Amino acid sequence: MVNTQLFQTRQGQLAAAATALNHEGKAAYAFSPRHQLAQMAVTGCLSQTFYASADEQLEQLANLVLAVDCRFTAQTAVYARQRGYMKDMPAALAAALAVWDTALLAQVFGRVIDNGKMLRNFVQIVRSGAMGRKSLGSAPKKLVQNWLLAATEKQLLSAAVGNQPSLADVVKMVHPRPQEAWRAAWFAWLIAKPFDAAALPPITQAFERFKRDVAQGVTPSELPDVPFQMLTALELNAQQWAQIARGGSWQMVRQNLNTFARHGVFEIQGMTQLIASKLQDADAVAKARAMPYQLLSAYQAAGEQVPALVRDALQDAMEHAIANVPRFAGAVVVCPDVSGSMSSAVTGYRAGATTAVRCIDVAGLMAAAVLRKNSTARVLPFEQKVVKLQLNGRDSVMTNAHKLAKIGGGGTNCSAPLKQLADEKARVDMVILVSDNESWVDGVRRGTTETMLQWERIKQRNPNARLVCIDIQPYGTTQAMERNDILNVGGFSDAVFDVVASFAEGRLGAEHWVGEIEKIALEPQ
């Protein structure tokens, strides 16, 4: 008699067999090279993750660039920078274009290398040889020169903060030939060559005067409008630190709340209100292209000396940062992965630069954001099984994200929430699953994944239901195959929800997310 457990009859559509194995050695569906590149570009930070080393990610990136055409590489670089708010990956893709297609690099350079930090990243990646060449070459060198010759004094000063390489290294490397006297003097000042002090631009002159006054024991009443990192080697009083806070960018203030507290800024009358007002300003949040996880990081890191009013302002800023999270029609279920592998840092481990925010924090944050905008949505956190947790849609995003992130641990079973919904015969219009997709508790080594089998059970009762799988680590496989009713999208900025909203409304075709990237125009903007 035939083994009916092995050859059991299954109702519904026959899902295709898996095409790959994930890092746990279980069946999965491999993304196409284009999808893999896109996923890496918006989730990879070339740092150690739970399953992959930085070197492995770099090798994968280099191979993917060879597997896709240069046009798509250029489009992905723009998407990763402008929509995913990434830094290292867009610079690495631009460096790849410096090897394979300098004409395309010229078309997207200004949209990808949009500040001094990105310029230094680009130069460092090129000269490392990791993407195929160790020198800039004439065309990329010209692009770097043009950036230096077009930048304002404030942009140049911001670019001068940081090393490996320093901006001085870049200037010595590409030898820009400025036409303006102020720029010639500024470059000479930067690289410690003789310069005409009278020709220096005004902010740099003010900085030089400030240093002279401090050296002579004079306490200047006004600080020069330079990046605060250029001042911190000097002895500053609380009033001067307060001036730094007043003039600082939104991102700078968010990152230095504990520093301000240590230097007595919040003890100065009016400064707590001023900083809180700056942080919760909706326009400033949008202009800063703030990732929700950055606000979560600041909120978690704020010490006891940071006033409650400022901490509350971070929560208000979070509400602005999730403005792109849509309200979905019908029955919505969001399923954050809270398993053990989600305990790794969301941007990977890197000595001296590891974020305290974990993948589980981001999964919880995304689930909480959906719940905040869709108060009737169900939240089914999962590890080996669905974890029971009661959340209130009226609570703040920070509160619910914290509750979800406190669960943590256990194996990964991506099909668990889908099985519960199928067993319940629940009405489902949209399921959003946030995971690293490394499912193994329910895993097999061949055939259809359990996630797809359980999704088919849901589809029998809900033929119009849609499944969204949000990937937050760049591992190249999924538990749910690409299909008209299934979207796989990567990233951890609120921009992900633009694509999810289009998919929910039926405005995305079969190509889904990769198709959105392919729509990016490459003409100079």
Q: Give the dihedral of Cα atoms 472, 33, 31, 473; nearest 10 deg.
A: -10
Angle at 238 between CA 237 and CA 239, to 5 degrees: 95
Amino acid at 96: A
Binned average pLDDT, 10 residues per bin, the chain of 525 residues: 51 71 91 94 79 84 95 97 91 96 96 96 94 90 98 97 94 96 98 96 95 83 88 86 92 94 96 97 90 86 94 93 86 95 79 72 90 93 94 88 87 96 97 93 88 97 95 90 92 84 81 87 72
Determine the pLDDT at residue 133.
Answer: 84
CB atoms under 10 Å from CB of 225, counted, come to 14
In a domain, 127, yes or no: yes
- Picking from 191, 216, 241, the residue at the C-terminal end of a domain is 216
In a domain, 524, yes or no: no
Q: Are residues 474 and 396 in the same domain?
A: yes
- Picking from 216, 237, 255, the residue at the C-terminal end of a domain is 216
In a domain, 267, yes or no: no
In a domain, 63, yes or no: no
Contacts with 384 (C-beta within 8 Å, 6 or more apart), sequence order: 339, 410, 411, 412, 413, 416, 441
- What three-state secondary structure class fits 337? strand
Contact by Cβ (8 Å): 290, 270: no
Determine the pLDDT at residue 109.
Answer: 97
The DSSP code sequence of 211-240 is HHHHHTT---SS--SS-GGGTTTS---HHH
Q: Are residues 24 and 129 in the same domain?
A: no
Q: Are residues 124 and 25 in the same domain?
A: no
Determine the pLDDT at residue 458.
Answer: 98
Domain assignment of residue 186, given as a range: 86-216
Backbone angles phi, psi at 224, to 5 degrees: -70, 150
Angle at 10 between CA 6 and CA 11, to 5 degrees: 175
Q: Are residues 334 and 466 in the same domain?
A: yes
**Local structure of residue 382 (DSSP, 8 states):** B
pTM: 0.88
How many Cα atoms sit within 13 Å of 76 on the Cβ side? Answer: 34
Contact by Cβ (8 Å): 521, 71: no
Q: Are residues 372 and 443 in the same domain?
A: yes
Determine the pLDDT at residue 6.
Answer: 46
Domain with residue 497: its CATH number is 3.40.50.410
Q: Are residues 25 and 134 in the same domain?
A: no
Q: Are residues 210 and 142 in the same domain?
A: yes
In a domain, 68, yes or no: no
Contact by Cβ (8 Å): 310, 355: no
Number of residues that this document lists for the chain: 525
In a domain, 1, yes or no: no
* C-alpha span between 93 and 83 (Å, rounded): 15
Q: 107-114 — which CB contacts under 8 Å span 24+ positions?
A: 107/74, 107/522, 107/523, 107/524, 108/74, 108/77, 108/78, 108/522, 109/143, 109/147, 110/147, 110/524, 110/525, 111/78, 111/81, 111/82, 111/525, 112/77, 112/78, 112/81, 113/143, 113/147, 114/81
In a domain, 460, yes or no: yes
Determine the pLDDT at residue 73.
Answer: 98
Amino acid at 332: V
In a domain, 345, yes or no: yes
Backbone angles phi, psi at 334, to 5 degrees: -120, 135
Q: Are residues 342 and 411 in the same domain?
A: yes
The 3-state secondary structure of 275-309, one letter per residue: HHHHHCCHHHHHHCCCCHHHHHHHHHHCCCCCCHH
Number of domains in the chain: 2
Q: Are residues 25 and 132 in the same domain?
A: no
Q: Are residues 506 and 358 in the same domain?
A: yes
* C-alpha span between 98 and 116 (Å, rounded): 18
CA distances from 498 to 84, 325, 503 (A): 11, 7, 9
Q: Are residues 499 and 407 in the same domain?
A: yes
For tokens 């901490």, name the residue. Answer: 311
Q: What tokens does 293 get?
A: 């996880």
The DSSP code sequence of 460-495 is HH-TT-EEEEEE-S--SEESS--BTTEEEEE-SSTT
| 20-21 sheet: strands from edge to edge | 20-21, 27-30, 477-478
Q: Are residues 363 and 430 in the same domain?
A: yes
* C-alpha span between 151 and 387 (Å, rounded): 53
- Picking from 168, 196, 216, the residue at the C-terminal end of a domain is 216
Determine the pLDDT at residue 512.
Answer: 79
Rg (CA), the chain: 25
